[in-house]
Amino acid sequence: MEQASINIPSSDRDHHIIPYGRQCIDQEDIRAVIKVLQSDWLTQGPKSKEFEEKFAEYCGAKYAVSVTSGTAALHLACLAAEIGKGDEVITSPITFAASANCALYVGATPVFVDIDPDTICIDHEKFEEYLSKRNVNIESLQGTKPRAVIPVHFAGLPCNMEPIYNSAKERGLVVIEDACHAHGARYVSGEIVGSCTYSDMTVFSFHPLKHITTGEGGMITTNSHEFYERLITLRSHGITKKNMKSGGFYEDYYYEMQMLGYNYRMNDIQAALGISQLNKLDSFLQKRRSIANYYQSAFDDLKDYIVMPADNNGDHGWHIYVIQLIKGNRDNVFRALRDKGIWVQVHYIPLYSFPYYQMLGYRKGLCPHAEEYYSRTITLPIHPSMNRDDMDRVVEEVKNAVKADSRKK
Ligand SMILES: *Cc1c(COP(=O)(O)O)cnc(C)c1O
């Protein structure tokens, strides 16, 4: 899976393997973590609070809640919105498993709406069509009704949020943006992803492959005080000292468990790394954009062979750089590139085609654009520590592999 394939031993990196993504850690990051280790506070404390405040400020959101992973963030967002049994949660099939699994965690039913083949994000017209006609027919949908949508800003390209938001709000749906690819990206309208301009909550991940890392970690931003309070309580077992329902106890020790929560607290070691990384997010983004621009112009003469990623829907975050083959066999090209040390990947296998989802009753053929895209796609390396030589090698090997394979026919 995503995580396993990136754990390339450093000896191999010296033999010029270029991974598709990689964290970027410097002395400043290391010093920030050491300082916490030497302090009195290792668990959630002052650094977590500072990270939340700085992240909220960066996004222009009122509140930010730090958690243990992007997956935990999605789970808590669903719980905070009181999504549950009988509720449909609509998302795209071209995403990491967590975007739909969070619906299953709370007993809800994931519904997959096909992608727009240009942006690889959920097709807002198909989303509206689904809401108006309920035209996806699977067994497990009997008796359920649409309750939430989780648009995924695939590869870092913001979804067309305005029509999605309008369709959702007309029918009272909750909007939770999965921005795990989109730290620092901006919508066409100019606002930054995470501002919750078009959503109730926005979810981020700080896995080492994402724009900034805390080892493992996640964040939820929101402008709703109600969601914020619920998220804070749910993150810590559902325990609170606010608005207590039973009175008359000594407040220094008394607390209440008011709902069933979890331990999803980010610790201060992670948060210190997060603060230090957040300081560099804009420069990381700049580097990612310059690599993407380089690819976009270098591949211009491959127009008969590959489709380059769309870059016309706001400011792209370039979490990953995906091409689609027009000619030739994806697996052959994939293998040829890996043989040359270009550690390509595939994002993603349509979620509903996994055995677990098949067991739940989802069938292949559900989202034809997603399946077509999956059969042609390859993810090329893009991360801030790549240098010009790395970029040139990727371009050259892609040209060789793509042309060699299409000659085979
Ligand atoms: C990485 C990712 C997640 C999950 O984040 P974790 O921190 O690994 O739990 C969710 N959705 C998408 C689109 C992701 O890329």
pLDDT digits (tens, 9 = 90+) for 48-72: 999 999 999 999 999 999 999 999 9
Output the CA 243–ligand 1 centroid distance in Å.
Answer: 33
What pLDDT does 4 receive?
Answer: 42
Q: Is the pTM of this model over 0.75?
A: yes
Pairing of strands 109-112, 87-91: parallel
Domain ranges of the chain: 10-21+281-406, 27-278
Res 362: pLDDT: 94
Q: Which is nearest to 146 in space by CA: 107, 196, 109? A: 109
Return phi, psi of residue 297, to 5°.
Answer: -85, -35
Helix (H) or strand (E) holding 61: none
Reply yes or no on domain 27-278 having CATH 3.30.2350.10.
no
**Helical axes 330-339 vs 388-407, angle rounded to 10°:** 140
Q: How far, in Å, is the centroid of ligand 1 from the Cα of 282?
A: 20
Distance CA 375, CA 180 (A): 23
Q: Answer yes or no: is the C-beta of 119 below 6 A from any ligand 1 atom.
A: no
In contact, 101 and 108? CB cutoff 8 Å: no
Count the helices and strands in the chain (H runs, E runs). 15, 14
- CB of 100 within 6 A of ligand 1: the answer is no
User: What is the dotted CATH code of the domain comprising 10-21+281-406?
Assistant: 3.90.1150.10
Any atom of ligand 1 within 6 Å of the Cβ of 99: yes
pLDDT of residue 14: 44
pLDDT tens, residue order, the chain (409 aa): 444 444 555 544 445 899 999 999 999 999 999 999 999 999 999 999 999 999 999 999 999 999 999 999 999 999 999 999 999 999 999 999 999 999 999 999 999 999 999 999 999 999 999 999 876 555 556 789 999 999 999 999 999 999 999 999 999 999 999 999 999 999 999 999 999 999 999 999 999 999 999 999 999 999 999 999 999 999 999 999 888 887 666 777 888 999 999 999 999 999 999 999 999 999 999 999 999 999 999 999 999 999 999 998 889 999 999 999 998 899 999 999 999 999 999 999 999 999 999 999 999 999 999 999 999 999 999 999 999 999 999 999 999 999 998 887 5
Q: State CA 69 to chain mean position distance.
A: 11
Q: Which atom of ligand 1 is nearest to the CA of 3?
A: 8
Q: Which of 69, 96, 99 to mutate to test the pocket of ligand 1 (most atoms within 8 A of CB)?
A: 96
Residue 127 alpha carbon to ligand 1 centre in Å: 22
pLDDT digits (tens, 9 = 90+) for 329-350: 999 999 999 999 999 999 999 9
Ligand 1 contacts CB of residue 205 (under 6 A): yes
Cβ 19 under 6 angstroms from ligand 1: no
Please indicate whether residue 71, judged by its CB atom, sits closer than 6 Å to ligand 1: yes
**Can you tell me which atom of ligand 1 is nearest the CA of 154?**
13
Give 174-243 as a DSSP string: EEEEE-TT-TT-B-TTSPBTTS-TT-SEEEEE--TTSSS--SS-EEEEES-HHHHHHHHHHHBTTEESSS
From the CA of 73, give the closest atom in ligand 1. 9
In angstroms, the CA 205 to CA 318 distance is 15
